[in-house]
Structure 1
C-alpha cells in the first residue's frame, strides 16, 4: 500500500491576472485517481533528495503550471472542441508555457561563457552547426550599410543585407526540423537507462519529451505558411539522419556536453527570432505585418482571436529561451544522480528570459523550494 496525495489546487498560469488566480485541480497517478495529470509522479516512501543528500517523504505534487486551461480543466458539461475533420484540439499536447504580453517581451539575448573543456567542445560544435545551417537554409544577416535609410527594401535585399519572407521561412523550417531531435534522443536514452538500471529517472524524461514536442509544434505552426518542396524535404531528411545519429552517439559519451551544446544552440535560436521580430516591427517583412496567427498557434499558446503572426514569433522566441535556460541548467548537473529541478515546475518567464541558467547549487535550492510548495498544497494522504 502506498500513501498518495489526492489532488492539488494550484494556479495554472493563463494570460490575464484574473485567470492566474483560477484554482485548477490536478491529480496524480491516473489509474488510481479520477483525473489524469500531465505529469504523474509515483510515490513509494522515503527517498533521497539527490541534490542535497537528504531524505524526504516522497509525496509528489506539482508546482504552478503555465500551460493554460486544457480540456480536463473545463466544466463536466463543456463540449470538446473539434475541427471540421474531427481532430481533437488542445489537450493532445504535453505541458508547455503560455506567456503574458509582458513575459513575451522580457526575453534577452544572452550567451554563456565557456568555462570547461566540455563547454568549449560544445560551443565549437555549435559554431560548426550554425555555419552548416546558414549554408543549407541560405541565411544571411549582414550589418546594414550607413546609407540604409536611403536605400529601398528591394535594394537592401539584393545587397544581401535583408532576407525576404520566403528566405526567413526556409531558415525557420529547417531550424525547427532539427531542433526537435535532441530532446527526443535524450529522453529515449534516459528511458532505456532507467529500464536497464531498474530505477527512477529523477524527473528528466518528461522535461526532455516536452522540449521535443514543443519544437515540433513550432514546425507544425510555420508549416501553415509554406509547404516545403521535395528538395527541401530531402535536405531535411539528410540533415536529420546525420544529426540524430551524431547526437545519439555523443549523448552516450557525455550527456552534459550535449545539453551544453543544445543550450548554446538555443542561444542562436533566440538571436534568430529576435532579428525576425525586429525585421517585422521595422516593416522590412511587409507580407507578415498583418498576417493573422494560424489557428494551431492560437490554440497552442492560447493567443487571442486578434493575434497576429508577430505574436507567434514572440511566443516561439520565449519557448527557445526556456530551452536555453533548461539545457544550460541540466548541463551543470550530475547526469547520473541529480534531480531535474524542472520536473515539478519551472521558473517564471522573467527569470528564464533574463538569466542564462541555474547553477548546480541554485538548482538544489529550487528543488527544495518545490518540495516545500507541494507539501503546503497537498491534501491528506489517500490509501490506495
Structure 2
C-alpha cells in the first residue's frame, strides 16, 4: 500500500540528536508513513544508530551515500519517495506526534498542493513560537498562491519589510507537506549549496509555489527547530557567501524573467537583496572569521559598494522600518561601513543574550 506521507531526513554526523528526531517520527499518530533516512557519508555513529532503528521499524528506509551536502541528500530522498505527500525533517529537530496526521488530513480534506504549519524555535534553555500573526487557517487558491506565497518567498514589499527577521520564515521546507506530483512532474530539486551558500529551501519553495494551484497555512506549531546545534551546516563563517548570494540573486531574477512575473516580484527581490546585507554582515563578523575588526569593516565596505546591492538600495523605502532598523539600513544605503559594523556587533550581542 502506498504511504500517505514520505518523510525525508538528511543525515550527516548528528549522533547526538538523531534518536530524538527518529523517536518523534516513529510515534506519529499517522501510521501510514515512510521515513527515508539519507545518510550523507557520516563518519560518526549516525549510520549505526540508523541500523538499530531500521530493525525496530520497517517504515525506516536507509539510503547510504557518499557525502554531497544537504541538498544532495534531500534530492536522493526524493528519488526514493513513494508517498502521496512529501515532507522534510532535519535530523537535529523533532516534531509533535500529531504533526503529519493533522497536516495530511488538512491537505486531503482541503485538496491542496502545499500545507505549511508554524514552528517553535528551541534553544538550550527556552523555547519561542514563531508568531506569523495570521488566523488559525489561511487558504490560497490559483493566482492567490503566487500573490501571497510565491511573492513572499522572493522578498518582502511595503509594510512587510519592517520585520527583517521574517525574511525567510516562509521559506523552510521542514514546515511543509508537498503533493508528490508537484515535485516529481516539475523536476523540482534542491540546488547545491556550493553555488548559492544558503537559501536552498527558499529556492525549492519558489519553484514549488509557482507550480502549486493551492496552499494552506495552519497556524499550529507542530515543528521544533533546534537552534543550539553549533555544528549545523547553517553555522560558521562562509568566506564565499557574497559571491554565492550574487549567484542566488541572479538565479531568482532569471526565474522571474523566464516566468514573466510582474514588477512586484522584482521589487520584492530588490528588498531581499537589501535585507540580506544583515546576513552578509553577521557572516563577516562571525567569531570564526579570524580577521581583525579593521579588515571586517573593509570587507563590509566592499560588499556595500557592490553594484547590484547599490542598485537595490536605491529602491528601498526606509520609512517602513522601525527606528533602529532604519538607521541600520540607512548606514548600508550610504555605505557607512563603520556604523553598519557597530550595529552588527550590537545585534550579535543581543542574539547571544536571547539564546
Q: TM-score, normalized by length of structure 1?
A: 0.24
Q: Which structure has the larger Rg over C-alpha atoms?
A: 1
Question: RCO higher in 1 or 2 (8 Å CA, sep ≥ 6)?
Answer: 1
Q: Which structure features the higher share of strand residues? A: 2
